[in-house]
Amino acid sequence: MIGIIGAMSVEIDGLVAVMDERETISCGAYKYELGKIYGKEVVVCRCGIGKVFSATATALMIEKFSPDAVINIGVAGGAKPLCQGDIVVSKRTVQHDYDGTADGLKMGQVHGFDSQYFECDEILVNAISKVIDELGYPYKVGTVATGDCFVSDNKKSAYIASTFDANAFDMESGAINQVCVVQKVPFVALRAISDNGDDSAMKSFYEFVTEAATRSINIITKYIQTL
């Protein structure tokens, strides 16, 4: 079974719509859609925006449904020169707002871990990249930086990009990845760029979010078909 998590309805609705044998199971405030896509078992969840929502939804998904892998799909801000519609596949994630520097850690390094970065599953990264190649979307394999803020400022986006070598900024991937690392579940994030995290980011986001989300859904659907 493949677990798929998106923060917003627009990021998962197209995926849920093509599921066969669908069943909804509620776990507290979260709803998990179980079913099949191209005959493959999947569980899909809209987690809500931010690190706490996404981490909680991931922990529950792993506990209740034991997925073989977890994939986070959706949209994100992208570091220039990435453009709207480009795809970022996470080789690793980092939580750019985690600050343990007063305790001797590097910026972004979570207590209990040796690095700022949480690595993603290489097999998943390569498989998703191959699918994107076949679809012909422009993409980059790189770092996704996560924090509990919508990056909409030129200075902030430049700082995150340069400090963490980040290609995309979102609010969930790093938290989901941390849970998956702790629970030893393979993980990758697949993010379609909706804006550049600059002063016009909010306007760009709302203008392009549906199209960007559709691209990530197309990719994950085709990936499932190849399994």
Residue 122: active-site member: no
**DSSP string over 123-189:** HHHHHHHHHHHHHT--EEEEEEEE-SS----HHHHHHHHHHHTEEEEESSHHHHHHHHHHHT--EEE
11 belongs to the catalytic site:
yes
The CA-CA-CA angle for residues 86, 89, 95, to 5°, reads: 110
* Per annotation, catalytic residue among 11, 121, 170, 172: 11
Catalytic option among 33, 86, 172, 195? 195
Beta strands per DSSP E along the chain: 2-6, 20-27, 30-37, 40-46, 69-78, 87-95, 117-119, 139-146, 166-170, 187-195
> Which residues are known catalytic residues?
11, 195
